[in-house]
């Protein structure tokens, strides 16, 4: 079997085509948002929102509503609760986040355990990428396009908020509103990725691409390109590997992203543990060679005096 056959065989199944489309949408949207989450330091917030949507999804199933509706409501609810408790108590934000997301995640687990269902609701936790229906794909696509478009349109404001909220306030922007908008988009994006990797691994898709791009470049504009390209590539590779090795597709997608981060962490020319040392040695050798060459070209002063 040649390479073309290996690439085309999975696409002969409709469920694989839907899985591939869902993976690409979720990977790209999560990767773009992850650039801001990494810069602001909201990794734990991403974890909180992704776990807090679980009871909303279960309740949506109980009442026959779309999963996305319940997930979005509870995502916003979690964000609001974190803000209220943080602003009205002496607790620090990380403690509040830990309390809210673990409590809501536990509520979701309890609801799953007591809900009679012909559907395996554990797919919500671990993802059900190969079971994505056409209606699920449409739902993911609509939410993904909205989130992506919002991030692109407001990218300058969000970037200024991430780097210098004081300056943003000075030019008439509201840091509080920008932060709330980012949190709302975080909740929507978590719902987009829910079908792909489940509640537990959503945080990986929301953090790893941005963190990887951050180790590659110092320019935020390039991060916004590198992160989604890298995430989409890892998504496609992970899905194909899971098909041929018969493994969990969501877990394999995240594993590919983790592998890419490891390679960049080790071998990135500027920030890599190994790559930066090799680059420093190369620059030192080049400098020594330039100094030696310059010394050979400089005439001997004693000869000039003679």
Domain of 210, CATH number, reads: 1.10.3470.10
| 8 Å CB contact between 201 and 257 | no
Do the domain assignments include residue 7? yes
Residue-range definition of the domain harbouring residue 40: 3-297
| 8 Å CB contact between 124 and 194 | yes
Question: Distance between alpha carbon 239 and the CA centroid of its chain, in Å?
Answer: 17
Do the domain assignments include residue 305? no
Do the domain assignments include residue 24? yes
| 8 Å CB contact between 210 and 34 | yes
- pLDDT of amino acid 230: 95
pLDDT tens figures, 168-182: 888 888 888 888 888
Do the domain assignments include residue 304? no
- pLDDT of amino acid 180: 81
Give, for all 306 residues of the chain, the pLDDT tens digit: 678 878 888 888 898 999 999 999 999 999 999 999 988 888 778 778 878 888 888 888 888 887 778 887 888 888 888 888 888 888 888 888 888 888 998 998 898 888 776 556 667 777 778 888 888 888 888 888 999 999 999 999 999 888 888 888 888 888 888 888 888 888 888 888 877 777 778 888 889 999 999 999 988 989 999 999 999 999 999 999 999 998 888 889 999 999 999 999 998 877 777 866 776 677 667 766 677 666 666 555 555 455
Structure tokens at 194: 């829910």
The domain total for the chain is 1
Do the domain assignments include residue 302? no
CA distance 51 to 148: 21
Do the domain assignments include residue 124? yes
Do the domain assignments include residue 264? yes
Query: 262-297: buried (b, 16+ CB within 10 Å) or exposed (e) per residue?
Result: eebbeebeeebeebeeeeeeeeeeeeeeeeeeeeee
Do the domain assignments include residue 306? no
pTM summary value: 0.83
- pLDDT of amino acid 297: 60
- pLDDT of amino acid 125: 73
- pLDDT of amino acid 68: 73
- pLDDT of amino acid 306: 52
């Amino acid at each position: 079997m040649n390479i073309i056959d290996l690439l085309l065989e999975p696409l002969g199944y409709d469920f694989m085509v839907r899985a591939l489309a869902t993976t690409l949408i979720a990977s790209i949207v999560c990767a773009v948002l992850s650039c801001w989450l990494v810069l602001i330091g909201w990794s734990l917030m991403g974890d909180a929102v992704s776990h807090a949507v679980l009871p909303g999804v279960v309740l949506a199933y109980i009442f026959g509503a779309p999963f996305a509706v319940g997930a979005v409501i509870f995502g916003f609810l979690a964000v609001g609760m974190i803000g209220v408790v943080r602003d009205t108590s002496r607790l620090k934000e990380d403690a509040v986040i830990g309390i809210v997301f673990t409590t809501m995640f536990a509520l979701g687990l309890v609801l799953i355990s007591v809900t009679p269902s012909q559907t395996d609701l554990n797919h919500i936790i671990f993802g059900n990428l190969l079971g994505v229906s056409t209606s699920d794909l449409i739902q993911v696509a609509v939410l993904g396009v909205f989130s992506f478009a919002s991030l692109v349109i407001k990218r300058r404001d969000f970037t200024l908020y991430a780097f210098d909220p004081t300056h943003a306030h000075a030019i008439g922007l509201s840091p509080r509103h920008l932060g709330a908008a980012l949190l709302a988009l975080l909740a929507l994006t978590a719902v987009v990725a829910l079908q792909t990797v489940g509640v537990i691994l959503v945080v990986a898709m929301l953090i790893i691409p941005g963190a990887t791009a951050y180790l590659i470049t110092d320019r935020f504009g390039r991060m916004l390109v590198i992160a989604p390209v890298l995430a989409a590539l890892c998504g496609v590779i992970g899905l194909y590997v899971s098909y041929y090795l018969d493994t969990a597709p969501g877990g394999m997608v995240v594993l590919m992203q983790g592998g890419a981060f490891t390679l960049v962490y080790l071998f990135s020319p500027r920030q890599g543990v190994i790559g930066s040392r090799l680059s420093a040695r190369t620059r030192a050798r080049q400098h020594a060679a330039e100094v030696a060459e310059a010394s050979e070209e400089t005439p001997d002063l004693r000869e000039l005096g003679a």
